[in-house]
Amino acid sequence: MPGTNGGSYEEYIMSILKNVKSIFPGFLVTFLVAISAKFLSNNYGAPTILFALLLGMSLHFLYTETLCEKGIDFASKYLLQLGIILLGFGVTWQQIVKIGFKPLSIVLSGIIFTILIGPILAKLLNRGWRIGILTSTAVAICGASAALAISSILPKNKFSEQNTLFTIVSVTTLSTLTMIVYPLLVRYLNMDDFSAGVFLGASIHDVAQVVGAGYGISKTAGDTATLIKMVRVASLFPIVLILLFFLQKRPQSGALTNLPIPFFIVGFLMTMFFNSTENFPENLKFFFLDLSAWCIALAISAIGMKTALSSLRHVGYQAILLIVFESIFLMTFVLVCVLNLI
């Protein structure tokens, strides 16, 4: 807090203006990339996130300029956290309860088993446990948003940023592919609309692709798929807490008071709580969800600019096989459960 005299307040205001001035050039560049990505997405149909990444990577040279570095760092960290917090406005506790025991058990089991199998597959493919957890949580929960959230709590090494970027690119591409292929599988198996919605919502990676695939079949399938997907999004909070528990050294006393819980995860839970109240305005909810989408697009644009395109060469074919196998595992598990339990 600034002091009581006028000089202290002036210094405080000047320091804020100085920080804003240092952030502005990089933020402006990030904003222009996100706007361009949105325009391309609206006109060519591919996800905004994918365009944001590709455009960002092509402008990596701007991150090496001192003028833009702080603003790009700001967008990649703080706008990402704000975007994840606002995702909570897309789900309510009532929706989770409404789903029913069998669909809910299929969704949660798919999430748990996919995350558990990630590090195992990574080890079999001679890759590190970090990329195993990163890719499996992205596949199991909500694609790029989950990858960004999980990457922020994993211990860092020299491969962290390129692994995060690879995961976002891969999971976004696979999500678009599954949006096309999975509805064809649904029709081939003659699944009813409710079962189709559960399958699509529990197996496709990103929210936008779930919506597209579900409503491409029917309104019932779309509503069900969206609701199931929102349960996966809501699971981000407990999954992050569980990972934090295992990643951090336990205090000798056995207490969890020193466990660092990221504020954006607490914020996600709070926004979900507000969205669950009876009289929460619908127009405000949609405003916050749109704002979340923009924040995530800005963050991904910034992450793209922070990473040299050449760094992806070092990821290797094993990482591609890893995320493909995880996606196939989740799809197969959910499909078998839906066909036999619903």
117-168 pLDDT, tens per residue?
999 999 999 888 888 999 999 999 988 778 888 888 888 777 777 788 888 8
Residue 311: band (very low, low, confident or very high) from pLDDT cuts 50, 70, 90: low
Tell me what pLDDT residue 256 has.
Answer: 38
Q: Is the pLDDT of residue 333 over 90?
A: yes
Q: Is the pLDDT of residue 313 over 70?
A: no
Token reading at 243: 């990972």
Q: Tell me how far the alpha carbon of residue 222 is from its chain's centroid.
A: 21
Q: Is the pLDDT of residue 5 over 70?
A: no
Q: Is the pLDDT of residue 111 over 90?
A: yes
Q: Is the pLDDT of residue 185 over 90?
A: yes
233-265 in b/e burial notation, b at 16+ Cβ within 10 A? bbbbbebbbebbeeeeeeeeeeeeeeeeebebb
- List pLDDT tens digits, range 287-303: 998 898 888 888 878 87
Q: Is the pLDDT of residue 304 over 50?
A: yes
Tell me what pLDDT residue 100 has.
Answer: 82
Tell me what pLDDT residue 107 has.
Answer: 93
Q: Is 142 helix (H, G, I), strand (E, B) or coil?
A: coil
- Let me know if 187 is exposed, middle or buried by CB neighbors in 10 A (0-12, 13-18, 19+): exposed
C-alpha torsion sign, points 334, 339, 340, 342: positive
Measured between alpha carbons, how far is 288 from 295 in angstroms, rounded to an integer? 10
Average pLDDT, the chain: 81
Q: Which residue has the higher pLDDT, 92 or 38?
A: 38
Q: Which residue has the higher pLDDT, 3 or 125?
A: 125
- List pLDDT tens digits, range 223-258: 788 778 878 887 887 888 888 888 764 443 333 334
Q: Is the pLDDT of residue 319 over 80?
A: yes
Tell me what pLDDT residue 309 has.
Answer: 60
Measured between alpha carbons, how far is 34 from 324 in angstroms, rounded to an integer? 28
Q: What percent of the chain has pLDDT over 70?
A: 87
Q: Which residue has the higher pLDDT, 30 or 256?
A: 30
C-alpha torsion sign, points 78, 79, 84, 86: positive
Tell me what pLDDT residue 254 has.
Answer: 39
Instruction: Tell me the average pLDDT across 261-281.
Output: 77
Q: Is the pLDDT of residue 25 over 60?
A: yes
Q: Which residue has the higher pLDDT, 304 or 171?
A: 171
